[in-house]
Amino acid sequence: RPPAFLVCSPKTMAAPASPVFDGDVVPRIVAVIPARGGSVSVPRKNIKILQGRPLIDWVIQAAEYSGIFDEVWVSTDDDEIHMIAKKCGAKVHRRSPHTATNTASTESALVDFVKAHPNYDVLCLVQATSPLITPLDFQKGWDAMRRAKADSLVTCVRAHRFLWSVDKRSGVARAVNYDPAKRPRRQDWDGELIENGAFYFTTKEVMEREECRLGGRVALHEMEEHTFAELDSPTDWQIVANMAMIHGFWPPGSVKPEGTDESPGSAEVTILGDSKLGLAAAAGLGMGVGLGVAGVAGLLAAPA
């Protein structure tokens, strides 16, 4: 899914290593999930029920159980989203109305948030419409940024797709990323890395200087191809609901609902935040993470 695209222009895409990683101090990492009340494509999308859970609960739980965030926030203008986000275990920031319109950029919501909550070293923008993020994705993404000593990080998926463009005047089409006379086989081609808009890490320095999610020295975390999913129609919703049963993160102790009918009221709404087992349970995610609390702490503190 293409992100709500950047209304900004990163100024320094090749910069020295981020000062966040200098010394032995563990950075304070804060996650923020923008979730406005209005949705054009799918009404009330951010709290619509997906496999028995409000949409925002999927990313809240993945962020909480990753063990890398000092705080997880939902930024909203909506009373119902506010209530549900708190029940899911997140803190809530009441965003300014001008950042929650159909034309407002995600960057405007980020700037609004950090002005109210400046106590962070690294900000993680998490998209509520990416419910297939797992705790392991956050852990691997942060590890990639730490190892690169980067100022920001973008998530992508690898797609083996041949891209074309058409000249508007002549109507002539041309291949963009391959030579049709030498069509590569999938196994002989690395494909293209496409931004999936799942989450972004940004240092405080970059956010304050550029008011943009990406800037300075940029690292990349490659995610599984199924995370390149859209939630813009009822059909999209059913497809993602089916994938969530297999690929979505289910916290320890949660029970998957039977069936896949996702119409409101068709399944009991399960909010997992109040029964979360905490970081001690993160050591047993069942995803081959093997990090646990001590491992995550060591990851953050380890010299690059």
Active site residues: 183
Single-letter residue type at 190: D
Structure tokens at 304: 């690059």
| Residue carrying the six token digits 């069936």 | 259
Count the Cβ atoms, other than its own, within 10 Å of residue 301: 12
Q: What does the alpha-carbon distance between residue 221 and residue 195 come to, in Å, rounded to a whole number?
A: 10
β-strand 53-54 against 49-50: which pairing, if any? Answer: antiparallel
Residues with Cβ within 8 Å of 29's Cβ and at least 6 positions away in sequence, in order, are 68, 69, 70, 120, 121, 122, 123, 124, 142, 201
Q: Rounded CA gap, 230 and 3, in Å? A: 10
What does each C-alpha distance from 129 to 75, 86, 170, 218, 293 come to in angstroms?
A: 14, 18, 38, 23, 27
Contact 92, 36 (CB under 8 A): no
The pairs formed by 112-117 with CB atoms below 8 angstroms and a separation of 24 or more are 112/75, 113/32, 113/73, 113/75, 114/204, 114/207, 114/208, 117/30, 117/73, 117/93
Query: What are the Cα distances from residue 267, in Å, to 49, 59, 129, 250, 262?
Result: 8, 20, 20, 16, 7
